[in-house]
């Protein structure tokens, strides 16, 4: 049986602040993110199974990614936890859905963070192959399991 890669696309709206950045992205601003999640595995070969011929049911992948990523990050403001504490307190007082990361919330760090979350949620026997996160229509960051062994 062949190993097959399967990809599902997710979209969410998110704001972030790039701490100490020398440009307009140091201000709160948002993006329409597009996340591609690619898993790999051998399609199930069991005629009695409801998921016969599938690496993983797209619906199951959707449930995992929505629960772990998009439901949390959609319409949130993501900030670096190392920003001055009075500023961080202001954000928490002003806005409802603030996500504080230990790192700068760049596209690169977000895709690595998402991979770290998803890698433990994908069922056994299926591999998280890669993630691709578009921050704008022309800019994206990728995470590959093969680069991060």
Q: Which is nearer to Zn ion, 25 or 100 (CB)?
A: 25
Q: Which is nearer to Zn ion, 25 or 101 (CB)?
A: 25
Q: Which is nearer to Zn ion, 27 or 51 (CB)?
A: 27
Q: Which is nearer to Zn ion, 30 or 125 (CB)?
A: 30
CB 74 within 8 A of CB 99: no
Residues forming the site for Zn ion (CB under 5 A): 25
Q: 2 to each of 36, 42, 53, 56, how far by Cα in Å?
A: 22, 6, 11, 14
For 109, what's the count of Cα atoms within 13 Å in the CB-facing half-sphere? 13
Closest distance between Zn ion and the C-beta of residue 44, in Å?
40
- Residue appearing with tokens 């949130």: 76
Closest distance between Zn ion and the C-beta of residue 29, in Å?
5
Closest distance between Zn ion and the C-beta of residue 138, in Å?
13
Q: Which is nearer to Zn ion, 25 or 99 (CB)?
A: 25
Q: 139-143: list long-range contacts, CB under 8 Å, 24+ apart.
A: 139/107, 140/107, 141/106, 141/107, 141/108, 141/110, 141/111, 142/111, 143/111, 143/112, 143/114, 143/115
Closest distance between Zn ion and the C-beta of residue 105, in Å?
8
Closest distance between Zn ion and the C-beta of residue 17, in Å?
9
**Of all residues in this chain, which one has the CB nearest to Zn ion in the complex?**
25
């Amino acid at each position: 049986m062949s190993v097959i890669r399967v990809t599902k696309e997710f979209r969410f709206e998110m704001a972030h602040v790039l701490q100490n950045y020398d440009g307009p992205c140091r201000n709160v601003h948002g993006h329409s993110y597009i996340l591609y999640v690619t898993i790999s595995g051998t399609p199930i070969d069991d005629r009695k199974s409801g998921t016969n011929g599938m690496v993983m049911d797209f619906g199951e992948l959707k449930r995992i990614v929505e629960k772990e990523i998009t439901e949390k990050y959609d319409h949130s403001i993501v900030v670096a936890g190392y920003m001055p504490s009075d500023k961080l307190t202001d954000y928490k007082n002003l806005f409802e859905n603030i996500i504080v990361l230990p790192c700068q919330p760049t596209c690169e760090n977000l895709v690595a963070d998402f991979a770290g979350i998803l890698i433990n949620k994908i069922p056994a026997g299926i591999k998280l192959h890669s993630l691709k996160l578009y921050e704008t229509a022309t800019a994206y960051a990728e995470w590959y399991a093969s680069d991060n062994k």
